[in-house]
Structure 1
Amino acid sequence: MDRLVEGFNTLSDWITTTVFYAVPLFGTEVPLIVLWLVIAGGFFTVWFGFMQFRGPKLAIDLVRGKYSDPDDAGEVSHFQALATAVSGTVGLGNIAGVAIAISLGGPGATFWMILAGLLGMATKMAECTLGVKYRRVREDGSVSGGPMYYLQYGLAERGMAGFGKVLAVIFAICMVGGSLGGGNMFQSNQATSQIIGVTGGEDSIFAGAPWIVGLIFAALAGAVIIGGIKSIARVTEKVVPFMAILYVLACLIVLGANLGSIPSAFGSIVSGAFSPDGVAGGLIGVLIIGFQRAAFSNEAGLGSASVAHSAVKTNEPATEGFVAMLEPFIDTVVICTMTALAIIISGAWDDPDAESIGGVGLTSRAFESVMPWFPYVLAVAVVLFAFSTMISWSYYGMKALGYMFGDSVLAESIYKGIFLIFTVVGSAAALGPVINFSDSMIFLMGIPNLIGLYLLATVVRREVLGYYDRVQRGEVKQYSHH
């Protein structure tokens, strides 16, 4: 057994080093995968004519159902698809990741995080439009879609069938790995440690048996995921708005208690973004920390959200591109910025022990400065964030496995069972190597996904701009069923 664990750790280290390979730039190490994602965001921003600044009104109209035909093929509404995808990305990265970014890069990292979020809106638009365009609708009305399908069928249309199939299989394997690790074990592990923390720490009834929390999580997750995307969407459309509002309200209370400091906090974000120690190395360092955290948080370019968005009821692929564009905005521009402001205003980021306190601890400290009982609210938020991320990623992993095994019901059922076992294991295990491995898997998804997006760039631009122009000319039918 020890030899097996040692082998896994060695493999995990090798994959992590390879995926997050860094090149020196202006005296700072820059992970190539982060550059890969950010450049794609810049490219699609220009390619779509800055649609993330022109299209939000249309996106909101679509979420409200203004252009939704109830008879279109698909399983969920635009709002449910958005809620499911947001629940997959709004997670511990928004609470812990932001705190880590600021403790490493100072307040200036927030500026670059917001910029990366805005660029990510264009990438998300591209991958979710293609997800709907190349999805497969089964006879029973259920839908399978996502990068696996546009890599295979989209590239086949362009005469690259073999290459597309290889990219699709690589993507699917990485998505299964990522769903079991970062999308499940990590979530269950962090939520368990929060629950133990607020129920007495070392004296908690769960301290000696954390797997009990894992079992409870597995039972709750199982009850939701057995019903597939419709059941997941019904839960996420209620949980996501609730957890986002709860968390943003808590942030606003901290900001309200420090109203006078808000202008100087914004000042330090802007000045820190452009003049850290007045050297290029510092600037690039802060920029990379901000970009990296945004990529970790909103997953733009990794293709995961495209799987959830593919299930939407629509006959117009671009509609879901517009809706998906809102996701990095909610995740990074709103929720991450709120966390950052709370941490900066309360001064928690400046703690000399910031690194040893850890991300969730730092955020908790920022809130405690205003409300001593706040760790309980944070614990509820962490548990909800973790749970909603788990149920979304269970669907992603199931669809990736379904792609490889011909959408067989048996394969999907076996996957669900394995997923729930991993939930229990995650609650009790030491996760260092597992997290490195699953982070690598999740980021590896970005390589085949973005190759596909670039090769299908003309197709996706035709869909997006064509639909936008038709709406502007009043040629798209409106519905009044909402």
Structure 2
Amino acid sequence: MNQIDTIIADFASAVWDLPLLILLIGGGLYLLLLSKFLPFRFIGHAIEILRGKYDDPNDPGQISHFQALTTALSATVGMGNIAGVAVAISIGGPGAVFWMWVSAIIGMSTKFYTSTLAIMYRGKDSHGELQGGPMYFITEGLGKSWKPLAVMFSICGLVGALPVFNVNQLTQAVNDILLISNGIEVGLYSSLIIGFVLVAVTALVILGGLQRISKTASRLVPAMVVLYFVLVLIVLGVNIDVLPKYIILIFTDAFAAENFMGDAFLGGMLGGLILLGIRRGAFSNEAGIGTAPMAHGAARTDEPVREGLVAMLGPAIDTLIVCTLTALAILVTGVWQTTDANGVTLTASAFSEAMPGIGKYLLLLCISIFSMSSLFSYAYYGTKCMGFLFGASKKYYYNYFYIVSILLGATTSLNMMINLIDAFFALMAIPTMVATIIMAPRVTKEIKSYIKQLK
């Protein structure tokens, strides 16, 4: 297992190198400038769309704008925001948060372009049903000669969509918060029991298809974000005296890299910190990876720009809001300096510090819902990739493979799982970003037409 762990870690480091950083961040900046900062100019309009002001039940698609966003958010607002932020701070210190913010701001434009393309170039699966996502906008927008890029995305998506990191961290949370603290012995047996419970609940939802997934997500996600927001405000309220100090430290440490304990990148600690922040930011909001366009591509709309505007709210909600809340909770309580805990256990320590007795249990409730909703959405992404590769009639076979992988996630190490998903996310980003950059001028033309129509 140690050898496999090392191989996966080396593989993840190899793909997350300078070329991918240039593609994600350089490409995102190019899209931001090309759109003339549209994501920030049209936030108010995006919220109006989300509230259903422009919904038309006769438009093509399967789910509403709101359901598309909550389905995408149920995947991104999950362990990346709670455990992923904790991993970033434990390795990089407060400065890592700043580079996660940079990733999110640039990611808003990337999400806008990729999700607009997902509606512009929807394709039909082998059953004749309308589908969206990078594999479809590559083949429909760039032509059949680009199909190898779409196949690459779909093959990597089969692994990238696996729930192993979410399950790993949920299992760790249940073990640390619920079992160990109550004197119950934990090990392979307890992890397998947790795994089988998750298998049962996940199977119940995902075997019902997209409609059941989107309805479940649209009920669970908003309630959990509000509860989590309230809990973190309590943590910050208890430690209000040190809050300004840590907000300043996020900015100063982002360039000093004094708390960074990872590997140097481009010859320096600052380079390593920037890469860590971008990597954890991409893991949190998935901008440029290509997962969210699969959910937004199913939205009931005939206006591509409209869906792109809804999609761009994703990175703002999950990284700029939820990740920042988690980061501040960990920083103000001081647990990042006083414990060797990592991942979700570090976040739980922060909640226990501020709300002794009850804090960690309330966090466990949030974690459970965030993780479960992520499990449902990722299953949908995996079936989309499977359907593209092998035909719509075979796509549901992926669910059985997916369900079995839950047991793998429950019984393996955090490092192995996070490196595995990191590596395949990186490989998914390559075809997504290359195709998006090539077709970006077409989206810009669509933007001009949409703005003219609005006026």
TM-score by length of 1: 0.86
AA matched with 1:398: T
In the alignment, the residues of structure 2 paired with residue 303 and residue 229 of structure 1 have an alpha-carbon distance, to the nearest angstrom, of 18
1:342 aligns with 2:339: no
1:326 CA displacement: 0.1
Which amino acid is 1:204 matched to?
A: I
Alignment-derived partner of residue 221 in structure 2: 240
- Corresponding residue of 1:113: 100
Does 1:272 pair with 2:257?
no
How far 1:362 moved relative to its partner? Answer: 1.9
Partner in structure 2 of residue 359 of structure 1:
343
Q: CA deviation at 1:434?
A: 4.9
Task: Say yes or no: does 1:19 pair with 2:15.
Answer: yes
The more displaced of 64-73 and 99-108 is 99-108
SS at match of 2:164: helix
Give the structure 1 partner of residue 234 of structure 2: 253
Contact 2:85–2:280 at 8 Å: present in 1 too? yes
The aligned counterpart of 2:25 is 38
Task: Provide TM-score, normalisation by structure 2.
Answer: 0.91
Give the letter aligned to residue 19 of structure 1: V
Task: Quote how far apart the aligned CAs of 1:433 are.
Answer: 4.0
Q: RMSD in angstroms over aligned alpha carbons?
A: 2.5
Correspondence 1:424 to 2:424:
no
Cα distance, 1:153 vs structure 2: 1.2
> Which residue is 2:142 aligned to?
155
Q: Is the 8 A contact 2:173 2:364 kept in 1?
A: yes
1:262 to 212, 232, 243: 243
Indicate the residue corresponding to 1:25 in structure 2: none
2:320 aligned to which of 333, 339, 343: 333
SS of structure 2 residue aligned to 1:439: helix
Alpha-carbon shift at residue 205 of structure 1 (Å): 7.1
Question: In the alignment, residue 297 of structure 1 is paired with which amino acid?
Answer: S
C-alpha spacing 1:102/1:16, structure 2 compared with 1 (3 Å):
closer
Structure 1's 256 and 361: CA in aligned 2 closer, same or farther, altered over 3 A?
Answer: same
- In 1, Cα distance between the equivalents of 2:142 and 2:440? 11
Whether 1:174 and 2:161 are equivalent positions in the alignment is no
1:321 positional shift: 0.3
Q: Give the secondary-structure state (helix, strand or coil) at the position aligned to 2:60.
A: coil
1:106-131 superposed Cα distances (whole Å, 9 cap, x missing partner): 32322222122111000000100011
Query: Structure 2 regions of 5+ residues with no counterpart?
Result: 261-266
Structure 1 residue runs without a partner (length 5+)? 22-30, 474-482
Q: Secondary structure at the match of 1:200?
A: helix
Equivalent position of 2:208 in the other structure: 227
Pair 1:76-2:57 in alignment: no
Following superposition, the deviation at residue 431 of structure 1 comes to 6.2
Tell whether the 8 Å contact from 1:48 to 1:465 is kept in structure 2 after alignment: no
The answer to whether the Cα contact below 8 Å between 2:172 and 2:344 also exists between their aligned partners in 1 is: no
CA distance in 1, matches of 2:250, 2:416: 34
Structure 2 residue corresponding to 1:185, chosen from 148, 164, 168:
164
Deviation at 1:383? 1.6
Residues 94-103 or 269-278, more deviating: 269-278
CA–CA distance in 2 between the matches of 1:347 and 1:429?
A: 29
1:18 maps to amino acid: A
Describe how 1:95-114 pairs up with structure 2 within 5 A. 95-114=82-101
Q: 1:413 aligns with which of 375, 393, 396?
A: 396
SS in 1 for 2:110: helix
Per-residue Cα deviation, 1:416-468 (whole angstroms, up to 9, x for no partner):
11211222332234465454333211221001111101111111111233213
Question: Relative to 1, partners in 2 of residues 1:272 and 1:44: Cα closer, same or farther, differing over 3 Å?
Answer: same
Within 5 Å, give how 1:366-445 maps onto structure 2: 366-372=350-356, 373-408=358-393, 411-430=394-413, 432-445=415-428
Give the alignment partner of residue 204 of structure 1, picking from 184, 190, 197. Answer: 184
> What secondary structure sits across from 1:72 in the alignment?
coil
User: For residue 449 of structure 2, what is the aligned residue in structure 1?
Assistant: 466
What is the rounded CA distance, in whole Å, between the counterparts of 1:427 and 1:454 in structure 2? 38
Output one character per residue of 1:252-306: Cα deviation in whole Å (capped at 9) or x when no partner: 0011112232222222222223444699945444333322221111110011100
When residues 315 and 139 of structure 1 are mapped into structure 2, their CA distance, relative to the original with a 3 A threshold, is farther
Measured at CA, do residues 18 and 262 of structure 1 come closer, stay the same or move farther in structure 2, by a change above 3 Å?
Answer: closer
Distance in 1 (CA, whole Å) between partners of 2:216 and 2:35 is 33
C-alpha spacing 1:95/1:103, structure 2 compared with 1 (3 Å): same
The letter of the residue matching 1:169 is V
Aligned equivalents of 1:422, 1:282: Cα separation in 2: 36
* Residue identity opposite 2:180 in structure 1: G
Residue 196 of structure 2 aligns with which residue?
A: 215
**Aligned partners of 2:102 and 2:452: how far apart in 1?**
27
